[in-house]
Amino acid sequence: MKRFLEGSQAVANSVALCKPGVIAAYPITPQTHIPEELSKLVAEGLLNSEFVNVESEHSAASVVLGSTACGVRSYTATSSQGLLLMGEVLFNIAGLRLPVVLTCANRAVSAPINIWNDQQDSISLRDSGWAQFYVENIQEAVDFHIIAYRLAEDRNIMLPVMVCMDGYILTHGVEVVDMPEQKDVDRFLPAYKPLYKLDIENPLTLGFLADTDYYMETRFAIQKTHQEILDLLPKITHDFRNVFGRDYGEGLIETYRTTDAERVIVAMGSVCGTIKEVVDQLRRKGKKVGLLKVITYRPFPIDKIYEALKNVPKVAVLDRALSLGADAPLYTEIRAIFFGKKRSPKLIRSFIAGLGGRDITLDSIKEIFKKLSLKTTEEEFIDLKPELLKDKV
């Protein structure tokens, strides 16, 4: 049913449709209305779930680690510093092969303190073993949580999934959402049946010491499973379309007017909507431009991106996060795809925009397309204020 909902409220209701048995959250900044709405649903008896208020994000992650290990579908949400505080536990959750689903409301990382949107938080956790989705709008945020549980709990996968949605722009934005029906979610997402679980009747241990003889194989196994996600996700999104009627292709990337494009921007998250607007505007003027949206960042869909970009002469990669001291994360990975390949863009250029909530406007995107026509190959920060930068003291 179509409703006019705030992103956080919509996601909370989507999570509720997935019926998690345990929800844990730390109820203070940085947090969203998602746990708040879920706690309300639990308190009102609309969701049969154990809601655990904890004393920190580290504990929130630890609670869902424990509850999932006991065989219960679990959920948590966080943001920014909170996600980083969870970091140690997040690696453990992946290593333990526990299918937790977490929402990251993407926000900048301190210092200086900044509560606004960028994607540095979840990008910093890209090596944790979690799958990561980046959504463009609230509808995708709603749908990809349901897809996330289905993927995470697949017995051939058994890995956690992080759904990343831009803070404020999507979490506090209100728009029209087609909320799934409970009967459809029940049809699409069967109850969680763990392969192994902590059970006092049948004692076992999880995550015990793996010494030099064993550890490396556990990491190799996660790496292999990420490859399997690339094959499985298209089947899941196909099923999703059959049940809910919404088509996310293979769930890995989305191409927008790239077929004959001479200049393409690669990006993730809500900014893709703004880029689509600019693409349409420039297309009306006869400019051959397009967008490649990366939905699944982990696993990184190398082959799909290669196919989509191999004939595009000029590619801009828009990062909303940095790897300080090196090239930007998404840019580095896009470039790496084409090393040693026969076909490749002539130019792949790195653009950084929207850090700490700096607004990305239509003009910001036009600027990127314009700068892609220049000869230079240097990294460029869009909408930077040089007047705020001083020479060394």
For position 257 contacting another protein by CB under 8 A, the verdict is no
Please report how the helices 302-309 and 329-337 are oriented relative to each other, as an axis angle in degrees rounded to 10.
70
CB of 91 or CB of 256, closer to another protein: 256
Tokens of 43: 């308190």
CB of 176 or CB of 336, closer to another protein: 176
With a CB cutoff of 8 Å and minimum separation 6, the contacts of 193 are none
Round to whole Å and give the CA distance between 145 and 143.
Answer: 5
Round to whole Å and give the CA distance between 289 and 350.
Answer: 17
Binding pattern to another protein, positions 152-191, x when CB under 8 A? Answer: --------------x-xx--xxxxx---------------
Tokens of 105: 């409301």
Round to whole Å and give the CA distance between 378 and 386.
Answer: 17
CB of 4 or CB of 208, closer to another protein: 4
Nearest CA to 352 among 123, 149, 139? 123
CB of 226 or CB of 293, closer to another protein: 293
For position 221 contacting another protein by CB under 8 A, the verdict is no
DSSP 247-300: --TTSSEEEES-TT-SEEEEE-STHHHHHHHHHHHHHHTT--EEEEEESEEES-
The least distance separating another protein from the CB of residue 166, rounded to whole angstroms, comes to 8
CB of 68 or CB of 81, closer to another protein: 81
The answer to whether 308 touches 314, Cβ cutoff 8 Å, is: no
Site for another protein in 364-383 (CB under 8 A): 364
| Binder among 230, 261, 308, 360 for another protein (CB under 8 A) | 360
CB of 23 or CB of 271, closer to another protein: 271
Binding pattern to another protein, positions 117-146, x when CB under 8 A? Answer: --------------------x---------
CB of 199 or CB of 277, closer to another protein: 277
| Binder among 122, 274, 296, 344 for another protein (CB under 8 A) | 274
For position 361 contacting another protein by CB under 8 A, the verdict is yes
With a CB cutoff of 8 Å and minimum separation 6, the contacts of 126 are 132, 297, 298, 329
The answer to whether 31 touches 2, Cβ cutoff 8 Å, is: no
The least distance separating another protein from the CB of residue 127, rounded to whole angstroms, comes to 28
The least distance separating another protein from the CB of residue 59, rounded to whole angstroms, comes to 24
On the CB side of 54, CA atoms within 13 Å amount to 24
Residues near another protein (CB under 8 A): 4, 6, 29, 115, 137, 166, 168-169, 172-176, 270-271, 273-274, 276-277, 359-362, 364
